[in-house]
Chains A and B, each alone.
Chain A
């Protein structure tokens, strides 16, 4: 089939899977996951076909595959919506399709398919074990299957639909639709175990926080439409339109229209990609099941925020080359860099295995945004792709670890928090596949030289930062050092050393449905980097052409320059990565006490601040949330609703009642009723009066008749004659 039709069909299988599972196969667990996996495979195959065709096209960036339809009539013209696949879409679809498929597969094992139903499992709570008797009659507690199994697959199907829609759309409107569908699914999936109050609060927090970003983004989209009359990327991002937007001034003094739009759209990304100050929802979102954390909060949804700003890069960078940098770029550079180091520092004081990864995600997204802010288009895209792979790998690996720990908890009856790293240790021997794949992911995150994808993408960012904004480069380098440190901290505490609890001692490897995706993602975490080796890298540069730079760079009308090689970024990259890893290993390799963190004493009071995430949650609670609650309770509810509106309604009801009573008593009863009664009474009385006429005697009747006859005859006789 032709490519345009194939693009339109890409989001369809997961959407159909969602409907099918919700409507028909909710009770049949194996059928639900089969439909979901089948849909993911279909979209994956379609993507691969498309990518294959796209790669073979020469100068693909200049004529991307495109198809659009007239949708809304708007006066004389039509608002068009459609799909487009250009090089940026190609690389995004690549990692989206693979990670989605891997995570779908992983979910089967994660939700314990094949295990018995739990004894006290209720929908809405995480499963907590079933008692199973083995061959000898010994009873033991094993992991039980998730009660809301099918629902999960339905939701992630819907989510996949949203992501595909966002990636393939060629206009801001359908992009926003996909954006919001993913926001909804994020809410539904964070609050998947809805009977837990913490999950419910986390879901609301995520939705509300991203909503704040979405409001500004919508303002930006509206402004674009009113300024240009279109929402399609091809038209907005054409040089002529950009020139017009740069010249146009906006309502805010000092900002051009392009600048204001750029900032507004970027605020949407701040919300969706959890940048400071709207970062608070992502760590709480770890309440959801781990596949959710992997997919939504590592690989795809938060990447969507970065995808948006990458896509809108021509608009955000419009005006660069004039005397000063355009305001959106400045904003991105500042916020991205600050977020990177801010989140990294928090990560070193977290004990929950998933929290560390959450803050790591925030930090890495900050890297990407900072890269864009300094003009590193290709670098940011490259890091987006590699980060998706290794972060998904890390999250899935952490899920595997947690599963192993839970098995140990059930086996030993030692009820500890399976997610706390200080209860783990020595899992390298118990869960080898998980250990090796997790380590690959961690090394990629830290930027281990040459063999991991993270190294190549992070290196490019450093090159761009060093070339354009050295200050940004220094801060990013510090962040990378801290990143490597906490990564090694995590690996050491979890896998190395000796088990620090009974549960850890009894952990074992997870089934193939969970470990196979880890291996596959590990493969990509290593090899993806080799697509983007710079040409003038010492020794090995030039062996393989820098395909990524060529391909993705061709998306922009002005091909980004290839920055010449400089030793400083490379050396810095090696130093921070190896140094950070080494320092982490040294500090944490022999931790035996599960209560005390070795860095607690050196950091002192700073440790407490870091552990409490700089008290941002408490700050927001006091400054924003509680006043809002008080406002809605006291003013909107008590006053406006109960007193004013309800009071008015009661008053109207009373008045109506009074009027009704008046009508009833003064008009209805006397006049209408009275008249009816009068007619009845008169008839009865007349009847009584005339009754004696009926004597029953025939002769009297005859006499009466004859008298009447005579009377009438006389009357008529005298009238007519």
Chain B
């Protein structure tokens, strides 16, 4: 057992535990907080995978923006009787079943794949991933179009969400 593996196991356990709490917690604010824990754990995994930029991006975007937004939404849609009822709806058995089915299915497929136990190749130490990402995003032969489309998508989402959530009672 290498130290890397140990770290991985710890992080994975925490993340999965937090994920379980996300889907089963009764109090919605608790759910949001457990989600933050999960997202942080995923960021750590990114770091483990030598994708440093992505880890920071994960923290900033997911935790700093999306999770906060979720907390705002939770605050705006509170009902006092919320915590009395159960968290799960009437189909939770079916959902559990499907969850297991998917997991089993995925495992089966993964087991049958030949490259499953591949070793990670050596990274090129001279390469700077951040610069490479930046260059790839503005390269016309690269992902410039994707980048621009993503920005348009964000703009549309921005406008759309403002419009949908506008309070028309005034």
Contacts and interface: CB of A to CB of B under 8 A. Distances in A.
Direct A–B contact present (CB less than 8 angstroms): yes
A713 B98 CA distance: 13
B4 to A, nearest CB: 35
B65 to A, nearest CB: 26
A700 B98 contact: no
A710 interface: yes
Contact of B102 (A697, A699, A710): A710
A710 B91 contact: no
A706 B98 contact: yes
A707 interface: yes
Contacts of A707: 94, 98
A699 B98 contact: no
A700 B91 contact: yes
B98 A710 contact: yes
B110 to A, nearest CB: 15
Nearest to A700: B91
A703 B91 contact: yes
Contacts of B160: none
Interface string A688-718: 0000000001011001001100100100000
A134 B11 CA distance: 140
B101 interface: yes
A699 B91 contact: yes
A703 B98 contact: yes
B105 interface: yes
B141 interface: no
Interface in B68-93: 89, 91
A133 B73 CA distance: 114
Contacts of A713: 105
Size bracket, chain A contacts: under 10
Contact of B89 (A699, A706, A710): A699
A162 B105 CA distance: 110
A706 B98 CA distance: 8
A711 to B, nearest CB: 10
Contacts of A700: 91
From DSSP, what is the main secondary structure of chain A's interface residues?
helix
A713 B105 CA distance: 10
From DSSP, what is the main secondary structure of chain B's interface residues?
helix
B155 interface: no
A697 B98 CA distance: 17
A503 to B, nearest CB: 111
B36 to A, nearest CB: 24
B95 interface: yes
B62 to A, nearest CB: 24
A416 B40 CA distance: 140
A707 B89 CA distance: 18
B48 to A, nearest CB: 31
A710 B95 contact: no
Nearest to A713: B105
B94 A710 contact: no
A85 B95 CA distance: 119
A699 B23 CA distance: 15
A231 B94 CA distance: 109
A703 B101 contact: no
A699 B88 CA distance: 11
A707 B99 CA distance: 10
Contacts of B101: 710
A713 B89 CA distance: 27
A707 to B, nearest CB: 7
A109 B101 CA distance: 121
Contacts of B105: 710, 713
Contacts of A706: 98, 102
Nearest to A704: B94
A697 B94 CA distance: 14
A699 B95 CA distance: 9
Interface in B91-140: 91, 94-95, 98, 101-102, 105
A700 B89 CA distance: 10
A703 B94 contact: yes
Nearest to B104: A710
A699 B96 CA distance: 13
Contacts of B102: 706, 710
A703 to B, nearest CB: 5
Contacts of B89: 697, 699
A599 to B, nearest CB: 127
Nearest to B112: A721
A611 B155 CA distance: 126
A700 B91 CA distance: 7
A710 B89 CA distance: 22
A699 B91 CA distance: 8
Contacts of B91: 699-700, 703
B113 to A, nearest CB: 14
A151 B117 CA distance: 120
Contacts of B98: 703, 706-707, 710
B103 to A, nearest CB: 12
Interface in A135-181: none
Nearest to A721: B112
A697 B101 CA distance: 22
A703 B98 CA distance: 8
A72 B91 CA distance: 99
A264 B60 CA distance: 131
Interface in A105-138: none
B102 to A, nearest CB: 7
A707 B97 CA distance: 10
A707 B102 CA distance: 10
Nearest to A697: B89
Given A700-B91, A710-B102, 9 more contacts: A697-B89, A699-B89, A699-B95, A703-B94, A703-B95, A703-B98, A706-B102, A707-B98, A713-B105
Interface of B: 89, 91, 94-95, 98, 101-102, 105
18 contacts: A697-B89, A699-B89, A699-B91, A699-B95, A700-B91, A703-B91, A703-B94, A703-B95, A703-B98, A706-B98, A706-B102, A707-B94, A707-B98, A710-B98, A710-B101, A710-B102, A710-B105, A713-B105
| A-B pairs, 10 with minimum CB distance | A703-B94, A706-B98, A710-B101, A703-B91, A700-B91, A699-B91, A699-B89, A703-B95, A703-B98, A707-B98
